[in-house]
């Protein structure tokens, strides 16, 4: 059946038996394909029937189906005619791992950050109503984990008072985001899952009240609930209807007939409706079900039968951080770890195992995590906030005004900095150096290897009167690159026989820089490679060092605009030092998904290309005049 499916409209005529058969085919298809390419397997196994029902009830693309984060959109891609492209999932030039407007008219939101889709739905449905497109529905599929994000509740607050417009919110409740969903909302939804009626729970309603945490006093006023009586507090619709939203559910998300009925009711209502759906993440695939921690949220290349990785993983940057922070925690009882629903992905699961009372998971709420960390620091603790680089973007205001302005001793650890590869443009961590470069009091380290990461962590947690930040890339940590000399706090990694070019390497770019210098030496060009380790503020000794060279090259894996080269140029201008600075980094573009190595090659950030350009530059007049750098045969970006 899957092979003949070309249009979602074809789903409307299928029988219950045919839908069950198709659901199984899709699950088998997902396991077979995603185990070869890697990707988000567990979330998509859980939304098969839900997605089929959505496309049976609504008419896409006339009606819009918006996925929060979008990692649960694989089934949507299959039924909208892209099944034959799944061998290229997350590969260069292939199918994106998230919705992509360039792929299909059925895709709307490309951002893979959580808790944003409700605001999209509010805006689009409002726009449809204002422009006379009253026959178009907007459906927002949001996970229960995404409801831990404050932006979701800002949207719900506006949606609830919107009046007539065709907006359906489907809460896909599978109890998990990356890790088990955290917070009072999660506890309340757990109650809803178990509640089948008031009378059944009346005998122990008092106990439920005592065990159900509050989900934010401004929204869910506990006293108001108590005044209305036990029934309104534990009834499934109570939490959402108090906001002014009509509620349907809980519905078995794997029962297509029940889903069809609920969605049809919501569709015909004409005002915002919330449909609460219970699904099982990883459904139908025993290795995912057995994975209690994350239900195979995301996998690499695995054996489809066992779910085990086919290739033994090398020690990663995340592993190195995870082990070192535990060792630091043994020595320092004031160290507290904070994560935003990503204990495992950021490596803090090891810290939680060792120090559960000192580990805080705030859910998908990066803004709250950062300001809460400022509060913890005020009490004398030293918080470690571990997030992906791309997710710190969401909490910039809190970093600037709650942490830095107040001189809070908080250490930020940014995983997945720089080019990350196959998760696409919204997951690249290429913005952090530019963003953090304008934050007063913040000190930033970019370790080049595992030894320097451990060293930087030790140095960072000693600072209690201002914030510190450490960034590192995705993937395996490279072999240690020892400095043969350290001068004024700057590590010298390679020195040529003549003072032609000074290369300032930022973080994990060190291996490429050293190799490029070695290749340039064979062509008779003397290159010295240095690593300042702490790149904000840059050491003033670079001014004296740079004066001995004809030109300076800065190699970084962040955007060139506002990056380390920009900071160095400003420092040289302030010192009235006239010397050519050339920036090798990421252009100011949204870069499509591809492997990290492929993207770096596209950008010309390889040892061979850099060495070739250094040799060409060295043959120009003195002082060196570097032309604007453009990589040959670059893969088009947006």
Q: List active site positions.
A: 281, 366, 394
DSSP string, 239-294: HHHTTT-EEEEEEETT-HHHHHHHHHHHHHH-S-EEEEEE--TTTT-HHHHH-TTT
Contact status, residue 304 vs residue 201, Cβ threshold 8 Å: no
Report the C-alpha gap between 221 and 218 in whole angstroms: 6
DSSP string, 63-76: SEEEESSSTT-HHH
DSSP string, 534-555: EEESPPTHHHHHHTTSSEEEEE
Q: What DSSP state is assigned to residue 591?
A: P
Report the C-alpha gap between 36 and 229 in whole angstroms: 53
Backbone angles phi, psi at 251, to 5 degrees: -115, 140
Report the C-alpha gap between 612 and 520 in whole angstroms: 7
Contact status, residue 134 vs residue 95, Cβ threshold 8 Å: no
- Show the CA angle centred on residue 121, arms to residues 120 and 125, nearest 5°: 120
Which residues, 6 or more positions from 445, have their beta carbon under 8 angstroms from its beta carbon?
A: 456, 459, 460, 468, 469, 470, 471, 533, 534, 535
Phi-psi region of 576 (alpha: psi -120 to 50; beta: other; left: phi over 0): left
Report the C-alpha gap between 314 and 611 in whole angstroms: 28
Report the C-alpha gap between 154 and 253 in whole angstroms: 26
Angstrom CA distances, 450 to 200, 221, 388, 474, 605, stand at: 56, 48, 18, 13, 22
Report the C-alpha gap between 436 and 442 in whole angstroms: 7
Which residues, 6 or more positions from 324, have their beta carbon under 8 angstroms from its beta carbon?
A: 453, 454, 457
Angstrom CA distances, 103 to 6, 109, 172, 195, stand at: 15, 12, 25, 41
Number of H helices, E strands in the chain: 27, 18
- Per the document, the length of the chain is 638
Contact status, residue 501 vs residue 529, Cβ threshold 8 Å: no
Report the C-alpha gap between 274 and 290 in whole angstroms: 31
Contact status, residue 490 vs residue 539, Cβ threshold 8 Å: yes
3-state secondary structure of 431: coil
- Show the CA angle centred on residue 138, arms to residues 189 and 80, nearest 5°: 100
């Amino acid at each position: 059946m899957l092979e003949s499916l070309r249009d979602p409209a074809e789903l409307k005529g299928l029988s219950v038996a045919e839908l069950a058969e198709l659901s199984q085919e899709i699950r088998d298809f997902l396991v077979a394909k995603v185990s070869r390419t890697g990707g988000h397997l567990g979330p998509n196994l859980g939304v098969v029937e839900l997605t089929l029902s959505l496309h049976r009830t609504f008419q896409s693309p006339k009606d819009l189906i918006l996925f929060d984060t979008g990692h649960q959109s694989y089934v949507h891609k299959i039924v909208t005619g892209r099944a034959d492209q799944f061998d290229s999932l997350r590969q260069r030039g292939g199918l994106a791992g998230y919705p992509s407007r360039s792929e299909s008219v059925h895709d709307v939101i490309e951002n893979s950050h959580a808790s944003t889709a409700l605001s999209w739905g509010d805006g689009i449905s409002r726009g449809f109503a204002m422009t006379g497109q009253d026959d178009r529905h907007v459906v927002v599929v949001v996970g229960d984990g995404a409801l831990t994000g404050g932006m979701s509740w800002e949207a719900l607050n506006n949606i609830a008072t919107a009046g007539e417009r065709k907006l359906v919110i489907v809460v896909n409740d599978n109890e998990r985001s990356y890790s088990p969903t955290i917070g009072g909302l999660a506890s309340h939804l757990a109650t809803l899952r178990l509640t089948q009626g008031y009378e059944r729970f009346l005998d122990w309603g008092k106990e439920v009240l005592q065990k159900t945490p509050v989900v934010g006093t401004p929204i869910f006023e506990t006293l108001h609930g108590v005044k209305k009586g036990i029934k309104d507090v534990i009834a499934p619709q109570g939490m959402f209807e108090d906001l002014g939203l009509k509620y349907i559910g809980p519905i078995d998300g794997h029962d297509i007939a029940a889903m069809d009925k609920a969605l049809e009711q919501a569709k015909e209502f004409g005002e915002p409706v919330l449909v609460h759906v219970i699904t099982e993440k990883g459904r139908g695939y025993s290795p995912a079900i057995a994975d209690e921690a994350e239900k195979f949220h995301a996998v690499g290349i695995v054996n489809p039968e066992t779910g085990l990785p086919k290739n033994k993983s090398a020690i990663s940057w995340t592993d190195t951080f995870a082990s070192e922070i535990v060792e630091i925690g043994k020595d320092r009882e004031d160290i507290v770890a904070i994560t935003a629903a990503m204990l495992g992905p950021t490596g803090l699961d090891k810290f939680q195992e060792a120090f559960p009372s000192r580990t805080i998971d705030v859910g998908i709420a990066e803004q709250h995590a950062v300001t809460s960390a400022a509060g913890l620091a005020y009490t004398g603790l030293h918080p470690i906030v571990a997030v992906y680089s791309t997710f710190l973007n969401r909490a910039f205001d809190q970093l600037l005004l709650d942490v830095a302005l107040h001189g809070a001793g908080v250490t930020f650890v940014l995983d997945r900095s720089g080019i990350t590869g196959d998760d696409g443009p919204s997951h690249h961590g290429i913005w952090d150096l530019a963003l953090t470069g304008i934050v007063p009091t913040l000190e930033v380290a970019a370790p080049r290897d595992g030894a320097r990461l451990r060293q930087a962590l030790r140095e960072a947690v000693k600072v209690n009167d201002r914030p510190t930040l450490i960034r590192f890339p995705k993937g395996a940590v490279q072999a240690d690159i020892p400095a043969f000399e350290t001068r004024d706090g700057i590590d010298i990694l390679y020195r040529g026989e003549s003072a032609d070019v000074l290369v300032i390497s930022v973080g994990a770019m060190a291996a490429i820089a050293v190799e490029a210098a070695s290749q340039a030496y064979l062509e008779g060009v003397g290159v010295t490679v240095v690593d300042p380790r702490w790149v904000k503020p840059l050491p003033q000794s670079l001014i004296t060092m740079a004066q001995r060279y004809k030109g300076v090259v800065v190699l970084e894996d962040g955007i060139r605009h506002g990056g380390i080269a920009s900071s160095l140029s400003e420092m040289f201008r302030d010192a009235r030092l006239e010397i050519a600075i050339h920036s090798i980094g990421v252009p100011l573009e949204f870069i499509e998904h591809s492997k990290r190595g492929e993207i770096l090659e596209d950008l010309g950030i390889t040892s061979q290309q850099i060495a070739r350009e250094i040799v060409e530059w060295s043959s120009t007049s003195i002082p060196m005049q570097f032309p604007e750098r453009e990589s040959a045969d670059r893969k088009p970006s947006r």
